[in-house]
Amino acid sequence: MESLVELYGWQTGNCIRAAIALTEAGIPFTARPVNLAKGEHQRHLFLTLNPAGKVPVMIDRSNGQPLVISQSNAIMLHAAERSPGRLLPSNDVASRAVALERFFFFVTDVIAPNHAAFYLRHRGMDDAVSALNQRVIQRLAEAERYAAESLFIAGNQFTLADIAAYTIVASVKDSIDWSELPNLAQWFQYLRTMHSIEQGYQAFVLHRHPTLEQLRK
């Protein structure tokens, strides 16, 4: 049976985070690869879903009327709301606030400058790129404290904060001085074996899934 949720995306951090969150929330979804290298995100079919021409986009039909959401963080929060307690602590206001604090730390203080560096690299602004990349590694090192405190980034439960942290740590892992971050290293090794993490990274690897174009043929 077709899943009630579709996730359009590609092999990028934003899409992988959304895929990990849906998987960890136990929400079955069909991954629909949108090949950015081939410009599929700029084609009319995709633009009708998201006029901004960006992935990920989720369509959730589980409540009758299709719900189309196009921000990765909104998709992650939606996954958390659909499965109370799975991605954010549900019965302790303080633990939930800490999980959100750390989720937004990674999203705004680490992932956002990393994206800005990616954009500026294409504009040839090398000095700005290296300043931003340095900043990303510096800020990321603050997570050593979180990993030292508990098994996961925000306590003893896997949360949205771990998903945000994992994808950015994985993407810059070769620039990290791991000898300085032993607890984060241990956390990283543990998370890489988690089913939802593996599935998220596999979701948009081109394999059996038809592409958006093939689906409409």
Ligand X SMILES: N[C@@H](CCC(=O)N[C@@H](CS)C(=O)NCC(=O)O)C(=O)O
Binding interface with ligand X (CB under 6 A): 12, 14, 36, 41, 53-56, 71-73
Bridge-based pairing state of the strands 29-33 and 5-9: parallel
Beta carbon nearer to ligand X, 40 or 162: 40
> Whose Cβ is closer to ligand X: residue 26's or residue 39's?
39
Q: How far is the CB of 32 from ligand X (least distance, A)?
A: 14
* Residue 80: partners with Cβ closer than 8 Å, 6 or more residues away: 21, 25, 86, 87, 88, 160
DSSP label at residue 40 = G
Helices (H), 28-156: 44-49, 72-82, 93-104, 112-122, 126-141, 143-149
Nearer to ligand X, 41 or 96 (CB): 41
CB nearer to ligand X: pick between 36 and 197:
36
The set of residues, in sequence order, having a beta carbon less than 8 Å from that of 6 and lying 6+ positions away, is: 29, 30, 31, 32, 58, 59
Phi-psi region of 26 (alpha: psi -120 to 50; beta: other; left: phi over 0): left
CB of 14 to ligand X, least distance (A): 4
Residue 35 or 150: the one with the smaller Cβ distance to ligand X is 35
Helix axes 195-202, 13-24, angle to 10 degrees: 140
Q: How far is the CB of 63 from ligand X (least distance, A)?
A: 22
**Helix segments in 4-92, DSSP class H:** 13-24, 44-49, 72-82
Nearer of residues 8 and 152 to ligand X, judged by Cβ: 8
- 32: three-class secondary structure by DSSP: strand
CB of 73 to ligand X, least distance (A): 6
Both tokens of 89, joined, read: 């602590």
Min CB(40)–ligand X separation in Å: 10
User: What is the smallest separation between the CB atom of 71 and ligand X, expressed in angstroms?
Assistant: 5
